[in-house]
Structure 1
């Protein structure tokens, strides 16, 4: 996934009421140096981001992504993003994308160490080809995340509900999954509850009810999961947010990892246990997720 375009943004106050922010961002050569060596996003991972799927130059679920972006900024004590400014920057980046699937990333960091302002930018890149996992499914292993379900309430400084740039643990978890012969991982709490995947939300089917873990601070509220639930509701299914025990993952009638770029990948194996794959429903869900929606 190579970055093709980048926009540098001059962040404005969240209460700036102007209607045109085009003068506050500029396109730069994505292959050229653009950040200072004192930038805290690279030195400490001190910042937040969102990855927005783009289909045929249409950015998907922008409102939900921006809501989560603002929430992450608040959790991390960063300046509250000006939503309209970022929306226009996302649209400007999406226009540069051609046909097919792309990913636009919004990044806000604390800036240069001891500097006066945050650093902000948007990138656009070709999306990886996820046609195989969408079609054939994926295998996952469960990994202990090392804290219990109540940890986020006891220790909010862990920033567990924010989408931060500190993704080293997530990437290490994926490498561990690969070492165990699986495609991906699902985090479980130390007291035995399903949380999320390193880069995706978990949806399980239990009879005619589709459930996902309650986003109570320990996990991100997935934007694609929200869209998937909206579609399932329209199809007449029941959807529910609740605590999900790890044994329910292994005993589900079907399961998916869902995210903005991969979309819905059916789970075909959990640890050493096979899981049924509903190809028809998966195809219909991905067709919806690939359709233009705001």
Structure 2
């Protein structure tokens, strides 16, 4: 894919029924202005999004992404998205992607301030080249997220389990990692448990068991992590979810950050201490993740 593609959507809620959603999409020039000055919701980060990897025109893990979009919308008190409508928009965007790796973004915001409907759009663009990090791995630092594991349940207004447009903290964490001569970060809860990376899920290996932080405590349930677990389980490995103390992180036999576009990246060091890298398994996981998956 060598160009950007965008669709503006006239949102239809999950309660509405429509046989053909074609008239609810508007093709727009992805390089041209498209939002009203009154679109304060996007400016304030008051919305949700998803990033879907595309391989040779095939959108990956669409159903889990749509389910997570609906979950995030529910947490943010946004209208329930009509998933059939969004699926058709994704299909149109994927058709524009062609060969190679691309990324489709789904964006749903509260819309113009005091307006009657949210603003929604779908974009497609070439993916960045992640071949180097897939081959060489990343060095990570651990950063205190500032909340304990019970914060999400105790204070739901923090929206810790939603994938919101407000990504300033995530980007600040990555800049802090770079200042510490690392490539990425892993958030820790204030009570000392491993959470997730700013833009990826974490998977650890201890012997033949693979474990990821339980999807509570205000972390996202990763769509790519679910796919990796399906592959590992089919290979006969034990996979599971747990509360993982931060002290277990440097003792792992191997670890990966996994995400929809970067795919599987081995962690080569944690807070400056080397971590074993299983490059053959990393390559195997990426071969699998580069195959068409629904």
Query: What is the CA distance between 1:70 and its match in structure 2?
Result: 0.3
Q: How far apart in 1 are the matches of 2:210 and 2:36?
A: 46
Q: How far apart in 2 are the matches of 1:124 and 1:34?
A: 15
Matched, 1:16 2:37: no
**Matched position secondary structure for 1:269:** strand
Q: How far apart in 1 are the matches of 2:234 and 2:156?
A: 36
Matched, 1:90 2:126: no
TM-score normalised per structure 1: 0.98
RMSD (Å) for aligned C-alpha atoms: 1.2
Matched, 1:52 2:64: no
**Matched position secondary structure for 1:124:** strand
Structure 1 pair 157/86, CA: closer, same or farther in 2 (3 Å)? same
Q: Which residue of 2 aligns with 1:177?
A: 177
Q: How far apart in 2 are the matches of 1:30 and 1:69?
A: 22
Unaligned runs of 5+ in 1: none
**Matched length:** 294
Q: Which residue of 2 aligns with 1:256?
A: 256
Query: What is the CA distance between 1:19 and its match in structure 2?
Result: 3.4
**Matched position secondary structure for 2:50:** strand
**Matched position secondary structure for 1:268:** strand
Q: How far apart in 1 are the matches of 2:40 and 2:90?
A: 23
How big is each residue's C-alpha offset from its partner over 1:159-208, in whole Å with a ceiling of 9 and x where there is no partner? 00000000000000000000000000000011110000000000000111
Alignment of 1:262-277 (within 5 A): 262-277=262-277
Alignment of 1:229-244 (within 5 A): 229-244=229-244
How big is each residue's C-alpha offset from its partner over 1:56-80, in whole Å with a ceiling of 9 and x where there is no partner? 0100000000000000000000000
Runs of 4+ residues over 6 Å off in structure 1: none
**Matched position secondary structure for 2:224:** helix
Q: Is the 8 A contact 2:109 2:120 kept in 1?
A: yes
TM-score normalised per structure 2: 0.98
How big is each residue's C-alpha offset from its partner over 1:35-65, in whole Å with a ceiling of 9 and x where there is no partner? 0111134321000000000000100000000
Q: Which residue of 2 aligns with 1:74?
A: 74
Q: How far apart in 1 are the matches of 2:217 and 2:82?
A: 23
**Matched position secondary structure for 1:280:** helix
Query: What is the CA distance between 1:98 and its match in structure 2?
Result: 1.6
